[in-house]
Amino acid sequence: TQLLEQSPQFLSIQEGENLTVYCNSSSVFSSLQWYRQEPGEGPVLLVTVVTGGEVKKLKRLTFQFGDARKDSSLHITAAQPGDTGLYLCAVRPSGGSYIPTFGRGTSLIVHP
């Protein structure tokens, strides 16, 4: 059983479209992170959310942490080919574990 469920697994869209990807779990988290990974590279941290209901914006990317701190969403407005990549969420489960756990990711392709 996966601690984190990310959906959709794959997403292929045209430039200019909007999209939302999700990271869900039945567990409560002290914090949640979103990473983006380009092919052949390591993941790069985009954002960390720590407060239930928190919304953070990074240019065209909007991140939201669920009120109960069990889930998160990433919304991209007017997607561009440069947004193509694997979007991974990661958590440190409540209870003291400091080892980040990753979801399986959403693979996004934005066509010009």
Partner 1 sequence: SQTIHQWPATLVQPVGSPLSLECTVEGTSNPNLYWYRQAAGRGLQLLFYSVGIGQISSEVPQNLSASRPQDRQFILSSKKLLLSDSGFYLCAWSLQRTNEKLFFGSGTQLSVL
Which 3 state secondary structure label does DSSP give 75? strand
- d(CA 13, CA 69) in angstroms, rounded, equals 29
Please report how close the Cβ of residue 27 comes to partner 1 at its closest, in angstroms: 16
Please report how close the Cβ of residue 53 comes to partner 1 at its closest, in angstroms: 19
| DSSP label at residue 59 | T
Are 19 and 85 in contact by the 8 Å Cβ rule? The answer is: no
Site for partner 1 (CB under 8 A): how many residues?
25
The span of 17-25, 33-41, 63-71, 74-82 binding partner 1 (CB under 8 A) equals 33-41
The binder of partner 1 chosen from 13, 19, 28, 86 (CB under 8 A)? 86
Please report how close the Cβ of residue 39 comes to partner 1 at its closest, in angstroms: 8
Q: Is 85 left (phi over 0), alpha (psi -120 to 50) or beta?
A: left
| DSSP label at residue 16 | T
Q: Which of residues 41-80 bind partner 1 (CB under 8 A)?
A: 41-45, 48
